[in-house]
Structure formats: C-alpha cells, structure tokens
C-alpha cells in the first residue's frame, strides 16, 4: 500500500510528458505558445497559468466578459454558454481547444 502511495506521489512531481499529438495554444498578442495538456479547466485558466490576465467576471459562460477573438482554430464548450459568441470569437472561461488554436490574447 505504501509503495502505491509513493508511486502516485512521484508521478505528481514529474513534469508532464508531451507527445506528438499534443494541441498547441497560441496567445498571439502575448507571443506565448503552450501545449494543452488537459490539466486546466479552461483556456482562461491556461492563460492565467502562463502569466496572462484576460478580463473575466462570472467564469461560467454567463457574462461574456472573457470573450476574445480566435485567429485560427476552434473551441469546444464544457457547458453551453448563456449567449453563444459570434463565429470567430470564444468565451475562454468555459471552453477548451478543439485542435490547435490561436487566440488574440
Ligand atoms: S467570464 Fe463570464 S462568460 Fe466568461
């Protein structure tokens, strides 16, 4: 039992393994490109984890404060937002990348 715990703890400390299939998220205005490893709940969280400070309020797809332009690619919504943004725009608080994506952040 203690061997299993040590293995889980060790795995948590190791850096993530990036495979050739990983999605890339580019924040074009900031010149930042990072892999999407699925360890953030949304694109907003990924941006914040990389030192960006996008506008937000509800973080639940209700207020559209986090809306930003998509230069290329698309997103998938975790839950359908209250008001879906126009094509070419995304609510980053409640979405994840659907393939490589470039956001105007
Ligand atoms: S912060 Fe309110 S919709 Fe994203």
Amino acid 21: pLDDT: 77
Helix, strand, coil percentages for the chain (3-state, nearest 5)? 20, 25, 50
CA-CA-CA-CA dihedral for 79, 80, 86, 91, to nearest 10: -30
- Tell me, in angstroms, the distance from the centre of ligand 1 to residue 90's CA: 10
pTM above threshold 0.85? no
Domains of the chain as residue ranges with CATH: 21-103 (3.10.20.30)
Question: Tens digit of pLDDT per residue, the chain (105 long)?
Answer: 444 444 444 444 554 555 567 899 999 999 999 999 999 999 999 999 999 999 999 999 999 999 999 999 999 999 999 999 999 999 999 999 999 999 999
Pocket of ligand 1 (CB under 6 A): 56-59, 61-66, 91, 93
**Dihedral sign computed on CA atoms, order 13, 32, 72, 45:** positive
Mutate to test the pocket of ligand 1, among 45, 55, 56 (most ligand atoms within 8 A of CB): 56
């Amino acid at each position: 039992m203690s061997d299993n715990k040590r293995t889980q703890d060790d795995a948590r400390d190791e850096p993530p393994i990036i495979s050739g299939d990983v999605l890339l998220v580019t924040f074009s205005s900031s010149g930042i490109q990072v892999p999407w490893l699925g360890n953030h709940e949304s694109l907003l969280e990924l941006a914040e984890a990389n030192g960006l400070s996008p506008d937000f309020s509800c973080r639940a797809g209700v207020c559209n404060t986090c809306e930003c332009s998509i230069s290329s690619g698309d997103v998938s919504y975790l839950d359908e937002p209250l008001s879906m943004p126009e094509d070419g725009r995304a609510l980053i608080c409640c979405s994840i990348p659907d393939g490589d994506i470039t956001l105007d952040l």
